[in-house]
Chains A and B, each alone.
Chain A
């Protein structure tokens, strides 16, 4: 699987706002929610909220729970770890997460 993955350049760093998310479309129909934290760390998880059943995670509020960085779904407020995709409020739920980097001011996702 890993072999099929590649780095996608999706936007400029300036398209991101610290603490907020945007959504990028990769591999034809894969929606990825990208978040900039602290103006330097960048994280990506799937945009699909498996609990709310809609593509909305990029529009959630970010924060931290004892240092664990998360985004809370704007639909029913479940929190998803930005580092693992794990749902902090429901152990049975995990969303895909994507390695993400900023290279030459460009935001890149491995997907």
Chain B
């Protein structure tokens, strides 16, 4: 038995014991809700699961057959539960419940006492009482174990039948089809998905599914399953027909797992289900039931979203909150075997007085129906088959009671000339539910954005919106973008209070008016003195446009300290030193010099992620001398401090490697030499791999180049760091010349267009038209600017200078590296201690207050 019991150090009596029976999606959601509660520490949580693994995503179970592993579907891990301090037992089916003693006992004989018990036992598939339903390869579709059994049985089968033409049955049929079986669906009712769809919708769905090669048999009641002639089984139907098959999957609905309640005397519904009130409490107030085992208002909700809602209500109630469960929307949108299906509210129009509009297009195979309230003002239901693009809008109308437009039919009619009366993200009220799985409203999303979650991924991580069934992801993106737009318009238009322009606009102004300094720009196009936002931005644009020496007097006050002192400032105010090592290739002689310099100046030495060497702990006054040593030895600045090209990482390629197909080393060095010194909105990293094994990890770089048998594949806008992104394949099998041409254009286009501090990945993702648009610009010269882009890049390449060389050759510039304008002393606060035979900054408690490190006269220290 796998168990992960966390023992509490505090006496357990002070904490309330919460025992959760069942670790399906809803049980797990309850645990998460409770763990997020501010009263978390008041509770000791124990999870008892009858399954052999922790919660996984049952909604996307069919993904298993599309190659998803159990780990991919997992919603949590043992490690995560341990981190949360949640104790759990697997393979621990609860078999006994003592309401007086408040204990539960597992099949393994272990007993657990509780203050509050949560039953989240879920449901089991209903298998119709047909003779022969227990024959070999007669299976159900519910757990990962079921899937493994289906996969196994399918290997020995040619034909498969799903009994049940509901939502889950069609999912299961899709799984059989993916496994390569001749697939049949047998349904008792006259139509498919009778709960969600009306008759015409069901008919169209049937036609479309049959087009895909699935045989549908409706109005068939199976009487008996016996031996077949061609196949393992033969299904005899009540109407006298029969069907032969090797494998049968029962998907005829669910039944609540309510045995515990049944055996130990909790109130049950007539047809099963543990009766709960609006707090999800059962007839015993210490016991809650949530999810598919719970019966609320004589109804069992077989969807995950209402289950999540119950979990939240129950967790909240335990913590003393007042939220109640008052039912849930059962609308659904999904793709069944590639067919889009949507159903909202009163799909059948059963509400007295309800009327509907329908639109059917047999050519395009779409069917749409909206059901409106008797007064004609509100949308109360909808059916969509073949095209669900209107689902989000219709759902918002239905859920939020938004008044219908003058001609409601325009909501489902195809837009001919006239614009559809769209329901933009803006017109939704803040109370509009965006994600019904996690009950996230538009207001929640706005709050999260205001809290600084300005990346879509951050937003989903923090609100959980679209992490349930995923059906709302498009709507979420719309709301997100509309909200950002609202903020973005202000932020983007005005770089800061000193300039009412975006970075891109400033770039154009600077180029068009040949502006060479910040002073010229702000006096003509801005106001005030500038600030830490606009100054470095303008400095970067000036460098990208004119490529002057960045420490010309007018430029110095604009730069971040890293650019002013040509090093990366560290936490203690010292700087790091990184000479350029193109492609990571370095001679032993240069290595020795780096080693000597590091040793003489007592610098902490580390290999960087970009195949170079970083020397830390140089005081500002030491920098010119350190760099003089490196430059004398034939090295140059690595621009590790600049928003500019950093490194071009490389493997050795076909010069050494058995597998290499091109000379990646030479290409990497060529690219690094070409683009070094290019100032850009953000730092740039490249890599070149000599074969598809991709040892240089080029697909995580702004520019990635991977050798092929015929040339180079170019990848763009990859990113490691805070928000990793795989690069997009831009063009394939390029020759050297075209490769460089494309990179020239791509980079220069980015440099012109991107916002400040925007990496190529974020730039591309936010660019209207995205990758295809940039391709059209770079490859097809859609904007007719390629000559200009190339010429600009050529000008940058031609005007390169090693800014450290220029600096040390100018005594006036070197003067700026003094620690004190009036003293040769050093900063007494910069103190080091030794760790692993190298220096590191002393922590505050390790420092000797007031102790002054003697000023180091560098000329004296220099070895002869």
Interface on A for B, CB 8 Å cutoff?
10-11, 15, 17-20, 22-26, 29, 31, 34, 37-38, 48, 52-56, 59-67, 69-70, 72, 74-75, 77, 79
Taken together as a complex, chains A and B put the C-alpha atoms of A80 and B6 apart, in Å, by 48
Q: A20-B556, A62-B557, A74-B560 known; A55 and B529 CB under 8 Å?
A: no
A-B CB contact pairs (8 Å), 22 listed: A11-B822, A19-B530, A24-B820, A24-B823, A26-B822, A29-B828, A31-B827, A53-B571, A54-B572, A55-B573, A61-B558, A61-B560, A62-B557, A63-B498, A63-B535, A64-B498, A64-B529, A65-B497, A69-B529, A72-B532, A75-B571, A77-B532
**Min CB distance, B621 to chain A, in Å?**
11
Among the listed B530, B532, B556, B562, which residue makes an inter-chain contact with A17, where contact means beta carbons less than 8 Å apart? Answer: B556
Query: Given the complex, which residues of B lie within 8 Å of A79, measured CB to CB?
Result: 532
Q: A17-B553, A24-B822, A63-B531 known; A74 and B561 CB under 8 Å?
A: yes
Please, which residue of chain A has its CB at the minimum distance from the CB of B850?
A29
Contact present for B529 and A22 (CB under 8 Å): no
**Min CB distance, A98 to chain B, in Å?**
14
Please, which residue of chain A has its CB at the minimum distance from the CB of B557?
A19
Flag whether B635 is at the interface (Cβ < 8 A). Answer: no
**Min CB distance, A21 to chain B, in Å?**
9
Contact present for B535 and A61 (CB under 8 Å): yes
Query: Given the complex, which residues of A lie within 8 Å of B844, measured CB to CB?
Result: 53
- Is chain B's interface secondary structure helix, strand, loop, or mixed overall? loop
Q: A15-B821, A17-B556, A34-B821 known; A61 and B529 CB under 8 Å?
A: no
Taken together as a complex, chains A and B put the C-alpha atoms of A75 and B620 apart, in Å, by 15
Flag whether B852 is at the interface (Cβ < 8 A). Answer: yes
Q: A11-B821, A17-B553, A24-B821 known; A62 and B529 CB under 8 Å?
A: yes
List which B514-536 residues lie within 8 A (CB) of chain A: 528-532, 534-536
Query: Given the complex, which residues of A lie within 8 Å of B565, measured CB to CB?
Result: 59
Among the listed A15, A34, A56, A60, which residue makes an inter-chain contact with B532, where contact means beta carbons less than 8 Å apart? Answer: A60
Contact present for A22 and B821 (CB under 8 Å): yes
Contact present for A75 and B569 (CB under 8 Å): yes
Q: A17-B557, A20-B556, A61-B557 known; A37 and B571 CB under 8 Å?
A: no
Taken together as a complex, chains A and B put the C-alpha atoms of A55 and B572 apart, in Å, by 8
Query: Given the complex, which residues of B lie within 8 Å of A18, measured CB to CB?
Result: 557
**Min CB distance, A101 to chain B, in Å?**
16
Having A23-B820, A31-B820, one finds 6 other A-B pairs with CB under 8 Å, namely: A23-B819, A25-B823, A60-B561, A62-B529, A64-B528, A75-B569
Contact present for B569 and A59 (CB under 8 Å): yes
Contact present for A66 and B497 (CB under 8 Å): yes
Taken together as a complex, chains A and B put the C-alpha atoms of A54 and B571 apart, in Å, by 7
Query: Given the complex, which residues of B lie within 8 Å of A75, measured CB to CB?
Result: 569, 571, 573
**Min CB distance, B533 to chain A, in Å?**
8
Q: A19-B557, A29-B850, A54-B573 known; A61 and B531 CB under 8 Å?
A: yes
Taken together as a complex, chains A and B put the C-alpha atoms of A90 and B466 apart, in Å, by 36
Query: Given the complex, which residues of B lie within 8 Å of A62, measured CB to CB?
Result: 529, 557
Contact present for A10 and B557 (CB under 8 Å): no
**Min CB distance, B570 to chain A, in Å?**
9
Flag whether B829 is at the interface (Cβ < 8 A). Answer: yes
Contact present for A52 and B564 (CB under 8 Å): no
**Min CB distance, A51 to chain B, in Å?**
11
Among the listed B562, B815, B823, B827, which residue makes an inter-chain contact with A55, where contact means beta carbons less than 8 Å apart? Answer: B827
List which B775-815 residues lie within 8 A (CB) of chain A: 815
Among the listed B529, B569, B620, which residue makes an inter-chain contact with A37, where contact means beta carbons less than 8 Å apart? Answer: B529
Residue with the highest number of chain B CB atoms closer than 10 Å, among A25, A62, A75, A77: A25
* A-B residue pairs, 8 tightest by C-beta: A19-B557, A63-B531, A74-B561, A72-B532, A54-B573, A20-B557, A64-B529, A22-B821
Q: A25-B823, A34-B821, A54-B829 known; A64 and B569 CB under 8 Å?
A: no
Residue with the highest number of chain A CB atoms closer than 10 Å, among B536, B821, B823: B821
Interface on B for A, CB 8 Å cutoff?
497-498, 528-532, 534-536, 553, 556-562, 564-565, 569, 571-573, 620, 815-816, 818-823, 825, 827-830, 844, 850, 852
Taken together as a complex, chains A and B put the C-alpha atoms of A38 and B530 apart, in Å, by 12
Contact present for A29 and B852 (CB under 8 Å): yes
Contact present for A65 and B820 (CB under 8 Å): no
Contact present for B573 and A65 (CB under 8 Å): no
Taken together as a complex, chains A and B put the C-alpha atoms of A58 and B170 apart, in Å, by 69
Please, which residue of chain A has its CB at the minimum distance from the CB of B530?
A63
Query: Given the complex, which residues of A lie within 8 Å of B572, measured CB to CB?
Result: 54
Contact present for A56 and B822 (CB under 8 Å): no
Contact present for B569 and A23 (CB under 8 Å): no
Q: A17-B553, A53-B844 known; A59 and B561 CB under 8 Å?
A: yes
Contact present for B822 and A25 (CB under 8 Å): yes
Query: Given the complex, which residues of A lie within 8 Å of B553, measured CB to CB?
Result: 17
Query: Given the complex, which residues of A lie within 8 Å of B823, measured CB to CB?
Result: 24-25
Please, which residue of chain B has its CB at the minimum distance from the CB of A70?
B531
Query: Given the complex, which residues of A lie within 8 Å of B534, measured CB to CB?
Result: 63
Taken together as a complex, chains A and B put the C-alpha atoms of A56 and B567 apart, in Å, by 14
**Min CB distance, B617 to chain A, in Å?**
13
Taken together as a complex, chains A and B put the C-alpha atoms of A10 and B823 apart, in Å, by 9
Residue with the highest number of chain A CB atoms closer than 10 Å, among B536, B556, B569, B573: B573
Contact present for A25 and B825 (CB under 8 Å): yes
Query: Given the complex, which residues of B lie within 8 Å of A65, measured CB to CB?
Result: 497, 531
**Min CB distance, A9 to chain B, in Å?**
8
Contact present for B532 and A63 (CB under 8 Å): yes
Taken together as a complex, chains A and B put the C-alpha atoms of A53 and B498 apart, in Å, by 30
**Min CB distance, A73 to chain B, in Å?**
9
Query: Given the complex, which residues of B lie within 8 Å of A66, measured CB to CB?
Result: 497
**Min CB distance, A106 to chain B, in Å?**
11
Taken together as a complex, chains A and B put the C-alpha atoms of A55 and B819 apart, in Å, by 10
Query: Given the complex, which residues of A lie within 8 Å of B822, measured CB to CB?
Result: 10-11, 24-26
Taken together as a complex, chains A and B put the C-alpha atoms of A19 and B559 apart, in Å, by 11
**Min CB distance, B823 to chain A, in Å?**
4
**Min CB distance, B643 to chain A, in Å?**
14
Query: Given the complex, which residues of A lie within 8 Å of B557, measured CB to CB?
Result: 17-20, 61-62
Taken together as a complex, chains A and B put the C-alpha atoms of A31 and B828 apart, in Å, by 10
